[in-house]
Structure 1
Amino acid sequence: MASGFFALLDDISALVKASAASLDDVPAQVAKTTGKVSGIVIDDTAVTPKYVVGLDPSRELAIIYQIAKKSLINKLFILTPAALLLGYFAPWAITPILMLGGAYLCFEGYEKVHSLFSKSHAVDGDEQLKQITPEELEKERVAGAVRTDIILSAEIIAIAYSQVTDQPIVNQIAVMVAVAIFITVAVYGFVGLLVKADDIGVHLAQDKYHPATQKLGRGIVKFMPRFLSVLSYVGTAAMLWVGAEIIAHGFPFTSHLLHDLEQALAHLPVVGWLAKALACAIAGILIGFVVEKVVLLVKKVLGKA
């Protein structure tokens, strides 16, 4: 009996050592996966500030915290388990689900582009502002940011899962959880710094600081509104680009076209990246236009019914 007990302890010890050795690879896998999703991380960072611009400055960090908290909850408790379950029971379903999310991003991006050129959107916006409270507007902004974030987060988690499919389940969970936490903290920490940069500038511009520091502070205050305005356009373009790229990778033909485009301009990496981004953004506008017409048609049919 005693010998059997000690043999069991030896087996447990060997299992623990094997698991520890396997987990030693997790940091390297996290670094590799983070590099793979860097493009989506940049898009997520560019998209988020536009949901905060124009709201009460004293509420900016609180709003970003709400979005970040919901983003992390979605990644850890919805998207990661869903990716693991789908990867095990129905791996074929992951790509179509991501493509639906890509279509939503194209639809939302197209609506924002359309509103820029619509003659009536300013009047509609004024009418809406008269009928909504700051609290309701804040809730709408947070909800909109979370809807967009969950699509980008799903793509991040899907890519993270694709990098660890050949790993033990413990490694898969460890890598995906680590990636979810690291990216959420990095993205929303940087977004918080962006939206509060003007306050930092005002602080540095105070008379108690050196003239050079005051000049730097005033420069930050003047620069940030323009930068955030440009970033909002970048965020809209990112929605179209990422959404179309997700859909393109779902079809072998279009996936090969993107790959061929990258290969043709491999000697000019920056030009190749810009060409792919522009092609995807244009395709995103077209996809968003089609999705909008389908949505309007469905609403019309349901309205008649």
Structure 2
Amino acid sequence: MTGKQELARFLRGRREQLVPADVGLPGEPSRRTLGLRREEVAELAHMSVDYYARLEQARGPRPSPRILDALTGVFRLTPAERGHMFRLAGTEATPLAAPVRTVRPHVTALLRRIPDTAAIVTDALCDVIAANASASAVFGRDYGARPNLARRRFLGSTMESSGAEEFAHILVARLRRSTDRYPHDPALARLLAELRAGSEEFTQIWDTGPVHAPGHRSKTLIHPEAGPLRVNCDVLTVPDDDQQVVFVTADPGSPSERALRQLVSAGRDFSAR
């Protein structure tokens, strides 16, 4: 099967998976078409019906990045699906406009199902875009207001930690990766300018080009109320959205685990008042 044929099959499959309501179009009780019509896709993507039909019939020319990005929006493709479509088209993928800043429902549900574990979700800018009640109890109530971890680490007061230097390198490495993926995102540009202007440490680390992969790390947090807490930080990546879920736990039966449980319990009591 040729690249054109594979692209045609991919486009047909995505079109047939959608219904009018998915893209804001009114439904029709007597509708017989499986999924969207070609005419509807063409209109939403701002291209001629003939051009789109030729793409689905493997008769069209190599589509431009503009055409493929338009189809990405119509079909609501994930970054992974978008990259796959560009490869099928034999076209170099353009940088993504901006990172995903919403959390998928199943990830939010995961945070609710582990109430005794402090868990947060961060996006490609290191913004905390979701946190459960336990995370707010352990790290501070502003975690519910979507703080930025890089700003907290380099520009503001943050909880002392035995791994503060390593954490700084991890944050910078992630932001460097984000500049490669989202070179035109204004929010990322503003964040980097703010960090460079306000932190010599950030600039120095940035210039070294650090590389860090998410994984398991242990550190000691100095909590203002509970004192030293020896915790484990484990990261689950959400590749399609360029997000990370961070779980903070303590070894079972340890003094730190008991202290974490007390903090979480106190946080629940506070919320119930």
Question: TM-score per shorter chain, which class?
Answer: under 0.3
Greater share of strand residues, 1 or 2?
2
TM-score normalised to structure 1 length: 0.25
TM-score normalised to structure 2 length: 0.27
| Larger RCO, structure (CA 8 Å, separation 6 or more) | 1
Greater share of helix residues, 1 or 2?
1
